[in-house]
Structure 1
Amino acid sequence: MTQTEFFNALKAIGYPVVYSHFSTDPAPPYLVYVFAYSDDMMADNLNYLGINNFQVELYTTKKDLAAEKLVKDKLKELELPYTQTEAWIEDDKLFQNIFEIQLIGE
């Protein structure tokens, strides 16, 4: 799956979505995704298989199980295993749910 295909799949959830950051934040809930790091498989001193790790960040004003489920369901539909962490951002008064995923082969 390419990063463009991944972006389009996230847009299908129905929330505003952007890579890295919005110039002005939309009303929550919204999604931001960012490249975190690569973990490529290597063989014969070459990067044999690209493995790019991304974070999908869901921002909500309250604990929103329905919004989290939409993201989880989309990742499952795409057959992308994920891990999830959550934080409260006091300054912004937002919950941040981070879903870490890998895009293989790009």
Structure 2
Amino acid sequence: MTQAELYQALKSIGFPIAYGSFTNPVTPPFITYQFAYSNDMMADNINYVPIENFQVELYTDKKDLAAEKKVQDKFKEIGLPYRKFETFLDEEKVYQILYEIQIIGG
């Protein structure tokens, strides 16, 4: 999977989506995603297999299990395991559900 394919998969969920952040205000639920770091498999002093770690963030104005399920079902559909974290952002009054995913060889 490539970053472009990740974008298309997230876009197909039906929520507004942006890389990093939106330039104009949007109403939740919405998704942002961005590259976090690489963790390539190395051998013989070269990066043998690229492993890119991304953060996918779902923002909702209330605890929205249905929205979370849509994102998680999409990850399962495309075969991406994830780690999930949740926090409430007081200033923005939104829940942030953060998913860490890896794209291997993309």
For the aligned pair, the TM-score class normalised by the smaller chain equals over 0.9
* AA matched with 1:43: A
With normalisation by structure 1, the TM-score equals 0.98
* AA matched with 1:27: T
Aligned residues: 106
Task: Indicate yes or no: 2:86 matched with 1:50.
Answer: no
With normalisation by structure 2, the TM-score equals 0.98
Taking the TM superposition and a 5 Å limit, the aligned residue runs for 1:70-81 are 70-81=70-81
Percent identity, please: 57
Taking the TM superposition and a 5 Å limit, the aligned residue runs for 1:1-106 are 1-106=1-106
- Matches of 2:105 and 2:19, distance apart in 1: 20
Task: List gaps (5 residues or longer) in structure 2.
Answer: none
Task: List gaps (5 residues or longer) in structure 1.
Answer: none
Secondary structure of residue in 1 paired with 2:62: coil
* Aligned-residue RMSD, C-alpha: 0.5
- Matches of 2:41 and 2:88, distance apart in 1: 35
